[in-house]
Chain A
């Protein structure tokens, strides 16, 4: 049945590809085009300037700092968040002690409760989370320093967001806190589909919890982990990191450029400084970084798919 095959394929692909092209590909092409102009974003007039914006970007210290921080976000955040989420999901689903009369494989006591609690932060919008933590980090009357004073550590009163050495880590901690719950639920769902017999067999053979995790859970969960990794990386490079940095940090982006990230810099250039063309140039750099990140994760993560 060859007749109508083209029409068949085109019929199915046309609408989604059309939408994708219009709302995703087209804006990308547009911003690449604008990065070669001197468009301010505030008037319809602009002219082509060749590679001027790119040359300027390579000489821009703030750009390099923001790139460095964005890369650090993309590296550290997925590692910490996914590692933590895997551990918590494992404890909730598989890690419990065997209880008399209960199933062979179960989570720690109260795991159902934990599962809900971990998901709580996901319910709050990132802007609210950032604001709450901005209050907690208040060195004068915030929750963290008050707690430190409360337990007698009067001498340890860090400036948190006011300290260039700590600020970036403070921001990352907030992102980990707010996203880990989502991955716990995601991985829990994945773990639930791993047949219990496999664990039983491993336990009968005398495997420890750590061994079962690395030999059974992780390999069978690999696909989920990998997509979680890409998702987390994009989140760390994109909107979520913008929100927390913009809302929480000194300046924002400070102190002394210690927390500035690429998305924040794009925003500041486009909407504060009226340099939309330069902002799109940084946007193009961000696009390259994001694509490279996804490519690296996909390549490193390539494994044989296990059928079970």
Chain B
């Protein structure tokens, strides 16, 4: 428009102008069809690097001249451990350039690149901005890591990488079927954390049955100390000790049924017994007052100050609360207390699983390079380096000899030794995030532990949530293999 030739004497009134702009807007509407091009424009992806020659030193056949890009989550574990591993990669492939970046904004920096089809070669998909793994797998965005797992390990050519890993790591990387999409690098021990010194001062050992637990809590209460506290604002910390307890009482099948979203899985007698046991802690006043209003840091601080004896948590607590835990605290972790001698699994049954999920995108230009970088990180030397630097175990089974372990870490290693094969690995928190956190955690367990639901009501409510999730067609469903 903009021509001045055809109008008469009246000029353009305000009303006319508005009318015409509206008409313009209508014309623009059909243009929406063009939009589909917007999100899918980059679908072609980038050119893949040519495969290199497979040799004993290079079992994955990495192209030694290809660029490798590695994006790390810069969180509680820092970035030094990864930088050290990158140096080894650069030494092994001197002709290759490595582009390393560490960020907390995983999703905001990488989501567009997935949408454009040019993701990096190795990603530590962790932190608050973690990209949903189920969706990434469901949309075929990740590469199968089986070649890496079947490659000879870095330290011993006679041993495959998969045989050097801790229990549960490979399984956790699978979603449906044999393909392994994720490699969890860190290894987390979940359980009941406490101060050995505080327990000694009560003249008690860590309780193995629920009657003993009640006795210890009563003793603590008389001394003005609460038995338990937990991250009240994030009650999905409670399962860290509650789920393995359910497994111990009723057997692994109960936890598997829960993960598989089977009908009435939560109505199993073992679940009911464990819920009632936890509710008893609230009823008898063993839970620190005000706990439902505390977040994880506040509850850990109250616990470190000795206001409460036990807290359900993961092995990161030692690092996270390092500045409030007193030097003589003597941090320890134990597998959860069971009910009594008739439990299906022995005392020591513990929840341990991988953390820091590393993935190689399906559309990565140099996927072999990404996997080779992971193979380097899973060597004994790199694993030791990680443990020494950040006080956490890795997926590599071992790697603790010859380095001094902090009290919590030492206790975690001992708990794993005691558990042996009795390690359970509930999957709700990585399969169904919303169900686990806000439904079961906040709306179910949180309400029960605050005394606003009875165990029976909580179970009914949670079973309802689980049934809803099982029926929800907008989420992908998984089953234990």
Contact = CB atoms under 8 A, between A and B. Distances in A.
A110 interface: no
Interface stretch (B175-183, B216-224, B287-295): B287-295
A7 B7 CA distance: 13
B477 interface: no
A9 B21 CA distance: 12
Interface in B261-312: 288-295, 298, 302, 307
Interface stretch (A66-74, A200-208, A218-226, A253-261): A253-261
Interface stretch (A39-47, A78-86, A177-185, A297-305): A39-47
Interface string B1-30: 111100101011000010000000000110
Interface string A17-42: 00000000000011001100001111
Nearest to A21: B28
Contacts, number: 166
Given A137-B293, A160-B293, A163-B293, A44 B433 contact: no
B9 A162 contact: no
A173 B182 CA distance: 44
B450 A162 contact: yes
B447 to A, nearest CB: 5
- Chain A interface, >50% SS class: loop
Interface in A249-271: 249-251, 253-257, 268, 271
Interface in A154-171: 157, 159-164
Contacts of B166: none
Contacts of B2: 6-7, 10
A63 to B, nearest CB: 13
Interface in B292-335: 292-295, 298, 302, 307
Nearest to A14: B2
Given A7-B2, A33-B35, A46-B39, A161 B307 contact: no
B115 interface: yes
A10 B20 CA distance: 12
Nearest to B433: A272
A284 to B, nearest CB: 14
A141 B2 CA distance: 68
Contact of B115 (A6, A44, A157, A274): A44
Nearest to B138: A40
A39 B116 CA distance: 14
B157 interface: no
B438 interface: yes
B412 to A, nearest CB: 27
B103 interface: no
Given A9-B17, A256-B447, A138 B32 contact: no
A290 interface: no
Contacts of B129: 271
A42 B288 contact: no
B58 interface: no
B136 A42 contact: yes
B289 A250 contact: no
Nearest to A160: B293
A97 interface: no
A30 B450 contact: no
A274 B289 contact: no
B1 A138 contact: no
A42 B294 contact: no
Given A162-B233, A250-B234, A274-B134, A44 B39 contact: yes
Given A140-B302, A272-B433, A272-B434, A45 B443 contact: no
